[in-house]
């Protein structure tokens, strides 16, 4: 068993991600208390052996890490409530699991907790929601993004990296909020929008029933995330509008160019071959094993050095007492 750098973790919000994280933490021997305003979620968590409560103050009592796992639309209110209770948690670090980082940091800073905050986003999820859909396996060995300010000194970053790469066996890309949010727009939020549009197109088509009767793998894969709770998707997209909107504008321009080419019998080769170099690397999750990279010494300015390396594709796979171990 890998030792945990935090003695007690509070997970605020026991939905799909928060519930999965709480279960994995408990499975790996970390003392964890879950909290949710929904009494049914708390009852379900207790039924699988978790310590859980509806009281935020009770959950964070004595915690040295607090994880905000509430919906984005509840983040500001939850951060404010946490700030009112934070005196009972000594010097607790605050992190989150949200898919957007800039707005979460603003909410935490507005609550007066900015100096305690390190952003985090596990790149794991399904189209389902709620504690009933959660499982420890969802978070086991997950890829994480962790975000810091450019002047971060690493005091709170280091133990969080040790938790994610140690007991949780994950890998971590350390980024700035902006780099994370732009990347998340491209690989998560825009795909949600396009999947929703594909589902909308079929829902409004005169041949809807025939089309759905014929639908197979390509439609299933292309629309999977459109079956996510629409309110959750809407909140995610609108909170990251600054990066989602320009990415969608480019997609619209590319599709309009394809339409024009199809209507005039012009060549369309470029559209279908533009990502050949990415395609050659294999699909995400199916790529070649990562190779070790030169480590980053944990000396002055090491978080900024990690940001630079991770922005180029490296990930942290562990922390020793003196260096961050990287792979790519």
Q: What is the pLDDT of residues 192-238, one digit of tens each?
A: 999 999 999 999 999 999 999 999 999 999 999 999 999 989 999 99
226 within some domain: yes
91 within some domain: yes
Strands 65-68 and 9-12 turn out to be: parallel
Task: Say which CATH number the domain at 127 has.
Answer: 3.40.50.720
Question: If pLDDT is split at 50, 70 and 90, which confidence band does 283 have?
Answer: confident
Instruction: Count H helices and E strands in the chain, helices first.
Output: 16, 11
Backbone angles phi, psi at 94, to 5 degrees: -115, 130
CA pair distance 12, 321, nearest whole angstrom: 30
Same domain, 159 and 307: yes
Q: How far is CA 77 from CA 99, 218, 289, in A?
A: 18, 40, 42
List, for residues 13-49, the tens digit of each pLDDT value: 999 999 999 999 999 999 999 999 999 999 999 999 9
Task: Say which CATH number the domain at 243 has.
Answer: 1.10.3660.10
- State the total domains in the chain: 2
Same domain, 59 and 103: yes
Q: Which domain holds residue 141?
A: 9-178+288-327
The pTM assigned to this predicted structure is: 0.93
Same domain, 232 and 297: no
Same domain, 260 and 168: no
Same domain, 89 and 166: yes
144 within some domain: yes
2 within some domain: no
Cβ-contact 11, 67 below 8 angstroms: yes
Same domain, 85 and 190: no
**Would you state the structure tokens that stand for residue 306, as one six-digit string?**
């990690």
Question: If pLDDT is split at 50, 70 and 90, which confidence band does 4 have?
Answer: confident
Block residue for tokens 């009767």: 213
What are the DSSP E strand ranges found in 45-142?
51-53, 65-68, 93-96, 119-122
């Amino acid at each position: 068993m890998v030792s945990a750098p935090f003695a007690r973790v509070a997970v605020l919000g026991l939905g799909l991600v928060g519930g999965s994280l709480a279960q994995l933490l408990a499975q790996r021997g970390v003392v964890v208390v879950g909290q949710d305003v929904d009494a049914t979620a708390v009852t379900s968590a207790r039924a699988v052996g978790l310590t859980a409560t509806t009281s935020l103050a009770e959950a964070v009592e004595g915690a040295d890490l607090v994880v905000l796992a509430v919906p984005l639309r509840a983040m500001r209110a939850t951060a404010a409530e946490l700030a009112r209770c934070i005196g009972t948690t000594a010097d607790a670090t605050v992190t989150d699991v949200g898919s957007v980082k800039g707005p979460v940091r603003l909410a935490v800073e507005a609550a007066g907790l900015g100096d305690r905050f390190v952003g985090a986003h596990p790149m794991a999820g399904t189209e389902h929601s709620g504690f009933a859909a959660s499982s420890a396996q969802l978070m086991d060995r997950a890829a994480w993004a962790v975000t810091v300010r450019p002047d971060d000194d690493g005091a709170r970053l280091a133990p969080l990296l040790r938790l994610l790469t140690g007991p949780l066996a994950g890998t971590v890309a350390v980024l700035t909020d902006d780099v994370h949010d732009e990347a998340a727009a491209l690989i998560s939020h825009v795909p949600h929008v396009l999947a929703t549009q594909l589902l909308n197109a079929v829902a409004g088509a005169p041949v809807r029933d025939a089309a759905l009767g014929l639908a197979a793998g390509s439609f299933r894969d292309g629309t999977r995330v459109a079956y996510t709770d629409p309110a959750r998707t809407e909140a995610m997209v609108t909170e990251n509008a600054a990066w989602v909107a320009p990415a969608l504008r480019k997609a619209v321009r590319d599709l309009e160019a394809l339409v024009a080419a199809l209507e005039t019998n012009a060549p369309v080769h470029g559209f279908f071959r533009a990502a050949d170099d990415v395609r050659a690397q294999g699909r995400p999750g199916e790529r070649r094993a990562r190779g070790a990279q030169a480590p980053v010494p944990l000396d002055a300015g090491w978080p900024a050095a990690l940001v630079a390396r991770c922005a180029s594709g490296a990930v942290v796979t562990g922390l020793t007492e003196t260096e961050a171990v990287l792979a790519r």
